[in-house]
Structure formats: structure tokens, C-alpha cells
Chains A and B, each alone.
Chain A
């Protein structure tokens, strides 16, 4: 009798995926804790609360500021159930066997992905990762101080323009800073050529000397929304928020090319609650959660319908030039993971630029 039941159960379970849906019983997770580690200012907390309520779980939600910091913590053995690294870091995590594959029976919402985030090189079949937000890196600027044509004509060269001295924010991230310099010089953002990196370093030092920029992280969002400075290097999602708060601001995706980045949800190999993590990822990819999150933080949704609705007529970001990332421009690049020696070398060179 008991055996018969097991066989029946196994049969049902085997057939479930065929039916196209894995029924999740929320009661299964009651009282569990899910450890989620995400970027700062990157979620609508009410979505998290709703998830907690629906599944009777507690989400331990913490935030970090950089991929490098996340990497160090993971190496120290910290266990998280869901993390949201960027493309190149996911590549590194996969190479080091630090991730576990998504359970495609649970995470079915991947079919709702927008065109721009399908088949990405770091994980072409989404074996490990589910794109969360995507973005370009660009310049947000005050059109009352810098006319649109002037900025578009300069692109990254604006960071060498003496006229803006003392009126500039630069994002404190070594990888992005080097990307800006390398693109301005016409190199690849993934270069490992000794001379090109030296050139890029010189470019950044010149920027430091001519502009005396303020090096900031997330505080750039509020500061630019208040119009405290003329221009800032920002991620397009932050720019979308800034533009919606301050109508004098505009966003420039430099003609020299830039970095297109995707932050995706992944499950570390040492996750304590992988099944619930899959359920969480599925929940976050869904239309409702994607809509709420994108409305709240301004980053471009990876959900095709949300992206279209929010940027379309009547959407929250209608006419907002920063919301939808530029896709398909030949000079734009995604980051690939740098060899180990450069992983430490870039932050070192960058620290010296800022301390000079």
C-alpha cells in the first residue's frame, strides 16, 4: 500500500512539469528564513513583505555596494540563498563552481524576459541566473548648465573638460572608472593590455587633476536629483529616477560606447534554502513584482511587458531617455571577468587616482 502510494506520488511528480506548472504549496516553507543579498536601493520593500506573507517565511534582506565586496564575502564562506551579482561576477562565480543551477520547473517566468537580456554571453541558457535589472553606464547632467548638444558631442570627454571643474560626481567603482577611460580612449572595456591600462590610468589621473570630482556611490542619486552638481557618471537606472525627480536633468549614453550591464539573481552553491530561493526568484520575475520594483527604483525591468508598459504611453517612464537601456550599439560592451592579476590591480590604481 505504502509502496503504491510512493509510486503514484513519483508518477504525479514526474508528470507535473509536463503540465507546465510545478504547484508550490506555500505551507511547505512555513517559518523558514530566506537570506537575500542585493544591491542597495534596488527593490520595492513591499514586494519582499508580500512574499513573506504569501509563503509565511522571513526574508533576511541585506544589501551590498559592489561586486568585489560580495565576492570577498562569498570567499569568506558567507552563505546566502539569493544574490544579485553583475554579469562578469556571475561568470567568475560559475567558473569557480560557486553557484547551483536554477530549478527550471519552478523558475518558469524566464519566458517573460525582454529581448535585450536574452541569451547573454555569461550564461546563455540561463542555467544559473535570472536577469533582474539591466542598465547602461552614462552621464546625467543639468541641461541648464550644459546644453544637450554640448554634452552629446563630448560624451566621456566631458570628464576632461576644465569648464566643469568642481561640478562633477564620479562613481567610486574601479571597474566602471576604467571602463569610462578605456572607452574614451577607444579601447575595449575588457582590455588586459598593459599599455592600454596604463593609458587609461593616465586618463583617470588627468580627470582627477582637471575636474577634482567628488567620488561617490549611491548618494549621487539624491544629490543629482537635488541638482547639487552639473554632471555625474551614473547607471542608467539611477538616471531614470533622477530624471523623474528633476526635469532639468538629462541622460547621455556616450557615443564612444559604454558598458551594458545585467544584474541577475543566482543561487550560491552553499545556499541553505535552495528550493525557497527558486520560488523567490520566480516570484521576483513575475509581472507584478517586476512592475513594483521597476517603478520604485527606476532600473529597466527584465520583464518584457513591464519594460514596454513603463516606457510606453501613460507609463511611469514615458519620455524618460534613461529608462530603456541602449541596445545593439556596436561600441557598447558587456564586461567579461578579468584575469586574477587585474582584479586586484585595477582597484589599486583607482585608489591611487582618488588619493592623489
Chain B
């Protein structure tokens, strides 16, 4: 046991350097004013107050949450039947389908988004929001399908046979057996889609036609254009809190589903 623990040292070092340290720096920036010396800090909460008291920022936050939520819902609506269909195929075909599904993920997201820009250019009437929405659903859908597929594929086929034996029709079998047991897959799918969607900034920038601002774009602006790292960090931190909260909620959903 002890020697196993020793093997995790590099991993712990990695986490400390590349995950914990940046988070601490963001926290530090978020609660200080600009122009700090290396030793003296002037602590403040005004970065948060500035964000929360400005209707423009709150509107952007709301838009980000809304589009991430819609993206997740649509990914489930499209992803679930797709996963169910794939899981119903013979094993060899399943591998092929999953390969086909993951294939586009090998291509850089930026490239795919540019391609969508070209495609959507032909549809002038679409609003910016719909364009961004299409791009997001396209980009994040594979994550959802794969998670749900994994959950369904590992279900014991005997469970279904048992349900049929007990007189349940296919629809009822799905509702009472397959769906409840695949909830963990849906939940990890939600985590993998909602979180990147809510903080995405490349897709709105490229597909939004230049008038669709999400929270990720705001963070980018304050870091790269305004050079206001303190306020940018505060927005990032608010974002991180929302993400942690939503992870906690989905986790909770997961455990209640399991208890049932």
C-alpha cells in the first residue's frame, strides 16, 4: 500500500503545479486590487461587487448558463437515442460506430468551428444564438453519446430478458430497466457537456457573428484587451464556483438515482 502511494507522487506534484497553483493565483488576483507589489497586497471584494452589480455582466452570465443548459438538453435528446441504437448493434458494428463518432474529435475544434462558419454563412436568417447553439451541440455531442453508450452497453442483457419474462413490453422494459440504469451515463455526459459549454469562448466568437458575448469572451477581454487581471480573475472565480456547484448538484442527482 505504501509503495503504491509513493507512485502517486509525480501525479500529486503535477496537480500542485498545474492545477492548484494557478487556482490559488486566480483567487489571489480576484481578491486584490491591481498594482500590487510582490509583498504588499491590498485586499478587496470590489471585483466581485463590480460584476454582481452590473446588469450587463449578469445578462452575459445568464445567457451563458441558458445556452449551456439548452446545449446539454439537446445533447441528451439526440445522444440518448443514438447511444441506444448503437448499443443494440452487434459488437463489431458497435466498435465501428464508436470509432466513427470519435473520428471528428481527432480534428482540432477550431477547424471544425470554422467549417461550421462556412456552412452557416449560407443561412442568413439564423440568429447568432442559433448559430452558436448549433456549433456547441455539434462539438459536444460525441461526449454525451459515448458516456451513455458505455452505461447502456455494460447492462446485463439478462435483465431485459427477465423483464420480458415477467410480461413487460419493450417500451415498459426501457422505462423500468434500461433508462434508470443508464442514468449514471447521462450524468457524466451532462458534466462533460455542460461544463465546457458554459465556459466556451471560441465557438461564440467564431459563430456568433461578432455580437454574441458569453462569459468566456468577457474573461478573455479583461485579460487580453483591458489588461485587468484582477477583474478577469474575479469573473473566472465566479465561473468556477458555478461549475463546482453544478458538479455538486449532478453528483447529488447521481447518488439519489443509485439509491433508487
Contacts and interface: CB of A to CB of B under 8 A. Distances in A.
A217 to B, nearest CB: 9
Given A214-B210, A352-B54, A344 B227 contact: yes
Interface of A, helix, strand, loop or mixed by DSSP: helix
Interface string A9-31: 00000000000000000000000
Contacts, number: 58
B126 interface: no
B226 A344 contact: yes
A172 B57 contact: no
Contacts of B227: 68, 71-72, 343-344, 347
A45 to B, nearest CB: 21
Size category of the binding interface on chain A: 20 to 34
B42 interface: no
Given A172-B210, A356-B56, A66 B218 contact: no
Nearest to A214: B210
A354 B34 CA distance: 24
A215 B226 CA distance: 17
Contacts of B209: 214
B129 interface: no
Given A169-B210, A214-B210, A347-B221, A355 B226 contact: no
B192 to A, nearest CB: 27
B222 interface: yes
Contacts of A185: none
A296 B141 CA distance: 42
B254 interface: no
A351 B59 CA distance: 13
A13 B115 CA distance: 58
9 contacts: A174-B225, A212-B211, A215-B210, A344-B228, A347-B222, A347-B225, A347-B226, A347-B227, A356-B56
Given A174-B226, A214-B211, A351-B221, 15 more contacts: A68-B224, A68-B227, A71-B227, A174-B225, A213-B210, A213-B211, A215-B210, A344-B34, A347-B226, A348-B231, A351-B218, A351-B225, A352-B57, A354-B211, A355-B57
Interface of B: 34, 54, 56-57, 59-60, 209-211, 213, 218, 221-222, 224-228, 231
Closest 3 CB pairs of A and B: A347-B226, A214-B210, A215-B210
